[in-house]
């Protein structure tokens, strides 16, 4: 259906009402193309932003305008889980406790794990501690276990690689890596976050 040339997309009421929808950061209007673009925070696929915006356009007699809803890329970066630190505490009987601290929306998330002392084993313990922190963040068991933690040499760089297994069905193998790690424990914890980057958002956006 052709859009009338007299369609008015410049009214303050339009911008005010669209901008008031939860999750909308800003409203952009292209008068020449008769297009309205909503810049939004990251939200679940079921978010009612489009439906709410369409209802407002209908109420204002602007059904013919094209509506676009896009996620602000900077917002995606700000909403990622961030690694803060990995700490080592000496326990009895040649064991160590690794405490991993993550940050989510300015909130500190802590996970711990205990294992035998020794650099290679402690790297694995740090990976487990990171998983425990993520379980706390999403408030459920991610059902993921550490398969292996290893430092390899590739393209003239040391790379910390962590392999994870998420139970199925179907089972899913996830791999994360950190190049030129500053220290093994921090790198192992960060590699866990990298391995889960694609699926973690499905939990944190709930």
Please report, for the domain that includes residue 112, its CATH number. 3.30.160.270
99 and 163 share a domain?
yes
What's the farthest any 2 CA atoms get from each other in the chain? 81
**Residues 6 or more apart from 76 whose CB is under 8 A from it?**
42
pLDDT score for 172: 86
End-to-end alpha carbon distance in the chain? 37
103 and 159 share a domain?
yes
149 and 130 share a domain?
yes
Instruction: State yes or no: pLDDT of 126 exceeds 90.
Output: yes
Flag whether 72 is in a domain.
yes
Number of domains forming the structure of the chain: 2
167 and 93 share a domain?
yes
- In DSSP terms, 103 is beta-bridged to 82, 108
Instruction: Record the pTM.
Output: 0.61
* Per-residue pLDDT tens over the stretch 58-112: 888 888 888 888 775 544 444 578 899 999 999 999 999 999 999 987 889 999 9
Domain that includes residue 120, residue range: 80-204
In this prediction, residue 15 has a pLDDT band, given cuts at 50, 70 and 90, of: confident
In this prediction, residue 188 has a pLDDT band, given cuts at 50, 70 and 90, of: very high
Distance CA 71, CA 13 (A): 23
24 and 122 share a domain?
no
**DSSP-derived secondary structure letter, 169:** S
The larger pLDDT score, comparing residue 99 to residue 204, is at 99
**Residues 6 or more apart from 27 whose CB is under 8 A from it?**
14, 15, 18, 19, 36, 37, 38, 39
Flag whether 6 is in a domain.
no
């Amino acid at each position: 259906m052709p859009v009338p040339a007299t369609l008015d997309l410049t009214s303050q009421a339009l911008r005010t009402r669209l901008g008031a929808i939860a999750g909308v950061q800003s409203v952009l209007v292209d008068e020449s193309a008769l297009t309205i673009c909503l810049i939004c925070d990251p939200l679940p696929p079921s978010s009612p932003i489009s439906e709410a915006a369409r209802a407002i356009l209908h109420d204002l007699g602007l059904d013919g305008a094209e509506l676009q809803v896009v996620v602000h890329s900077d917002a995606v970066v700000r909403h990622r889980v961030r690694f803060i630190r990995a700490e080592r505490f000496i326990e009895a009987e040649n064991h160590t406790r690794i405490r991993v601290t993550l940050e989510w929306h300015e909130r500190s998330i802590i996970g711990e794990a205990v294992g035998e002392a020794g650099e290679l084993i402690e790297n694995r313990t740090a990976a487990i501690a990171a998983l425990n922190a993520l379980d706390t963040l999403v408030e459920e068991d991610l059902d993921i276990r550490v398969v292996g933690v290893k430092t390899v040499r590739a393209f003239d760089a040391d790379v910390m690689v962590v392999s994870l297994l998420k139970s199925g069905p179907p089972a899913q193998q996830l791999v994360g890596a950190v190049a030129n790690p500053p220290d093994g424990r921090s790198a192992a914890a960060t590699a866990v976050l990298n391995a889960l980057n694609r699926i973690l958002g499905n939990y944190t956006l709930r």
